[in-house]
């Protein structure tokens, strides 16, 4: 349960909020195994993570659902980004809009781009074809982790998903996240190693909730 100093907003990001959320991503994912692998230099890693998420948040797709947790100063301290049923994959126009930022995030290093493409190619064929919501991003400000922000975001989204009666799907490159998502009834479907020396990617699925009697 969120404390009184936090509140949830359910709307798209506006103006400078895209930059603010991308900066939060840079802090939240800085020590993650995937980004540490592709950006071993800390300075480049922070920049790369920010650019990746800035372009994602600026061009998330028309139907994308943002939920943010904000503190008493109206700063974003948590965020989830979902694609609802029937809106994955993103339209070609949206993918093209994301492309310049994705390339820029790689600092023009072919190895970074090659790694990203390898992971995408490994994951795409096993993305669920049945109706589902896709969790693209879940992140919390490191300074306030452990205060129920991620749980609040997940609970609110999953309640809407359960009302629709469909499944939920996500991917993570961090093994420690598997146990976290298990608390919300997600189960590992596959463990992918598109690059043997890189961290594995886990795909997780949550079955549709049973109808209430």
Q: What pTM value is reported for the model?
A: 0.95
Q: Residue 117: is its pLDDT beyond 60? A: yes
Domain ranges of the chain: 7-206
Decide yes or no: CATH 3.40.630.30 for domain 7-206. Answer: yes
Q: Residue 138: is its pLDDT beyond 70? A: yes
Tens digits of residue pLDDT in 56-76: 999 999 999 999 999 999 999
Tens digits of residue pLDDT in 148-189: 999 999 999 999 999 999 999 999 999 999 999 999 999 999
79 near 20, Cβ under 8 Å? Answer: no
Could you give the CA distance from residue 83 to residue 66 in angstroms, rounded to a whole number? 9
- Identify the residue whose tokens are 């919390």: 140
111 near 104, Cβ under 8 Å? Answer: no
3-state secondary structure 57-86: HHCCCCCCEEEEEECCCCCEEEEEEEECCC
Query: Within 10 Å of residue 151's Cβ, how many Cβ atoms?
Result: 17
């Amino acid at each position: 349960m969120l404390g009184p100093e936090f509140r949830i907003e359910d709307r798209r990001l506006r103006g400078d909020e895209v930059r603010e959320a991308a900066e939060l991503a840079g802090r939240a994912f800085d020590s993650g195994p995937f980004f540490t692998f592709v950006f071993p230099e800390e300075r480049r890693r922070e920049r790369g993570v920010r650019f990746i998420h800035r372009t994602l948040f600026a061009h998330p797709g028309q139907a994308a659902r943002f939920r943010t947790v904000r503190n008493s100063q109206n700063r974003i301290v948590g965020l989830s980004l979902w694609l609802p049923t029937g809106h994955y994959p993103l339209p070609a126009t949206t993918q093209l809009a994301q492309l310049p930022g994705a390339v820029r995030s790689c600092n023009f290093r072919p190895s970074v781009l090659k790694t990203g493409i390898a992971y995408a190619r490994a994951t795409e064929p096993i993305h669920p074809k049945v109706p589902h919501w896709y969790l693209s991003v879940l992140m919390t400000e490191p300074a306030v982790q452990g205060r129920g922000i991620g749980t609040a975001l997940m609970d609110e989204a999953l309640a809407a998903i359960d009302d629709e009666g469909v499944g939920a799907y996500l991917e993570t490159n961090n093994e420690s996240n598997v146990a976290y998502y298990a608390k919300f009834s997600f189960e590992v479907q596959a463990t992918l190693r598109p690059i043997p020396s890189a961290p594995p990617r886990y795909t997780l699925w949550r079955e549709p909730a049973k109808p209430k009697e």
